[in-house]
Structure 1
């Protein structure tokens, strides 16, 4: 049916196509379903964190050790043997680190109050106004306590069930750690089982080839990134620990381990390490100028690692923009605490690599990527003449 025209030749607008409205409604329903799915996933991860946390940690550990298993397999060592040796080595490193660091860390926690007092006394010349405000607050607190009515007794309620709570927490942590290592052992020892199952779920040969190529690419990039970053952080912690030991810092092993562990948190981890080392250095050395050498050395190591070592060894393609990193750290720390914060960036890289291999999710991977230089082409000369 042709559109009617007026006397001047202008066509009269046809009635709107009902299919356009249906498509808009379907698009809206799809967006709502995606939002509901995201909210339900976040709720499941929060309330079932006792299950999801060790499982995801096991997958990350398996991906980290996969390049080593693949390298040993090419040398004729079966996956079961190499996976068992690597998991046992990981358990040995974990137990040894916990044993060596437990004593100094407990001492630091027990002496935290005295450390705070020493730091306040050391920085008294620089924080005199704050110290006066603190004195006024303490005096007001003392007046409030003395102004209580006579005969009124203050009752302190001791928390009940401390031993049972601590025992249950220790048991839960031990169970989670066991799940992590055992599940990672099975994942590493399974070899190509998961790839075979993925290929068998498709019918056509072209789909099987594409699925296998995508799975291999994603697994290779993620495992390379995790292993490389782990080695870089271990090297950073070793250098910082040796440097602080040379400067005479107390407990250099603790600060080296803290630097290696916290460096999984970009920006935030380096800042926390720098602040902790600065506090301990200020109360450990008599000269403030000499005390500042320790944080200066840590800052120099972080700059070299962040600006030169990691970009060269990891590559620019897997860089994540700072906004996405901070949002991920805030979200996973709210979801799973400190362990979730440590897992935030590796999981973000996993999501980015996965999205880069699918056209429908490429915009998500582009959003997570670091900012790149945008080349603006010059306009044609004829457009410039028209503008003139």
Structure 2
């Protein structure tokens, strides 16, 4: 049998292929390790990373206003201070005026649940027998407690101490967001200049500058436009619920505007909450259903007509990616993380669209099929077969 010489071309090619495969495997392993470590860092360092990312998103949203005022002779420091103070005033005023109705809803939650149960009693009667059987099975399968054995219950922190801790943490986060966003807005182009100075050649500097400005323009336009659309949606819902006689319509308008940053899930949550309050507030069920129906109609009009017409189709995100992002960031940072999920997803998509090596990631996140990718549907394959036959 003939043996392959060590220095033969076949042996060299095989060694080169093995080295390439090994290098690719190591690269994937290092990437996976980096992602796992990044997730752990974001989870355990959320008190630091969450306000920092919120500050960057706020600065991106307000940057076009600062640039607009700069062209008219207003210094960046003055416009940045004014915008940050207006943002804090708006958030503080909304929290102050809505605190009373929200606290009343929380305090009346047991009575609201009891009233809802009474209103839905005719619908629950077919399921009461099954519920009774399930309770009996649970009682029989529960282990009997031996005589003389005492249960130990750990004392939980009081509500006042928990509220004080949450208030202190929220105040710290808001302070970090306000101060950091103020520095980012007041620095003007200094932050971008520092990024460009990190590159050596002039071509790399130009490319970095183009990418930075494109990402800033797209993200600021998206965030500012979506925030304005959500504010308008909340105002319309508040006025409509006020006309229907819904209690606390301003609360539901603000809730609709805030929850609309969560596509699909936020609108569904608003509809369910409004339906619950309407069922216990109005005498007839048919009239009570008008309130959630109105919210649903407003959500359909906003999602299918207003937002696509104003924002455009280019920045639409794949629905599967949206659900995954909301689930991931809500697990990571709670409700605030869920609100930040879609803006961060848009940031990732716009960034990936500017690099050829990450184009497949941007294409996956996009809701529209890329024109550069081949059509692998049945119609596309049939069309190519017809062209080949012709």
TM-score, normalised relative to structure 2: 0.88
Matched residue SS, 1:127: helix
Structure 2 residue corresponding to 1:31, chosen from 28, 31, 48: 28
1:215 aligns with 2:220: no
Structure 2 CA distance for partners of 1:258 and 1:17, relative to 1, 3 Å? same
Aligned to 1:41: 38
CA contact (8 A) 1:124 1:131 kept: no
- RMSD across aligned positions (CA): 2.7
Q: Does 1:86 align with 2:91?
A: no
1:229 and 2:226 aligned: yes
CA distance in 1, matches of 2:114, 2:132: 14
Structure-2 residue corresponding to 1:62: 59
> Using a 3 Å threshold, how does the CA distance of structure 1 residues 140 and 379 change in structure 2: closer, same or farther?
closer
Asked if the contact 1:234/1:260 (under 8 Å) is kept, the reply is yes
Whole-angstrom CA distance in 2 between matches of 1:195 and 1:120? 58
SS in 2 for 1:201: coil
SS in 2 for 1:17: helix
Structure 2 gap ranges (5+) = none
CA distance in structure 2 between the partners assigned to 1:183 and 1:123 by the alignment? 50
**Match runs of 1:1-388 below 5 Å:** 14-15=10-11, 16-134=13-131, 158-160=155-157, 163-372=160-369, 376=380, 378-379=383-384, 383-384=388-389
Q: Would the aligned equivalents of 2:363 and 2:370 in 1 still touch at CA under 8 Å?
A: no
Cα distance 1:220–1:130, how it changes in 2: closer, same or farther (>3 A)?
Answer: same
Any conservation in 2 of the 1:355–1:362 contact (CA below 8 Å)?
A: yes
Q: Which moved more, 1:195-204 or 1:180-189?
A: 195-204
Q: Describe the shift of the 1:223–1:148 C-alpha distance in structure 2 as closer, same or farther (beyond 3 A).
A: same
Deviation at 1:383, TM superposition (A): 3.4
CA offsets per residue over residues 141-174 of structure 1, 9 Å max, x none?
9999xx9899998886643565444433321211
Structure 1 pair 384/137, CA: closer, same or farther in 2 (3 Å)? closer
Where 1:346 maps in the other structure, the secondary structure is helix
The aligned length equals 373
TM-score normalized with structure 1 length: 0.89
Residue 9 (structure 1) aligns with: none
Distance 1:235 1:292 in 2: 23
Distance 2:139 2:200 in 1: 79
* Distance in 2 separating the partners of 1:382 and 1:261: 51
> 3-state SS of the aligned residue for 1:319?
coil
Provide closer, same or farther for how the CA distance between residues 249 and 138 of structure 1 changes in structure 2, counting only shifts above 3 A: farther
Find the residue that maps to 1:250 and give its secondary structure: coil
8 A contact 1:236–1:260 mirrored in 2: yes
- Once the two structures are TM-superposed, the CA of residue 130 in structure 1 deviates from its matched residue by 2.8
Moved more, 24-33 or 156-165: 156-165
Contact 2:66 2:185 in 1 (8 A): yes
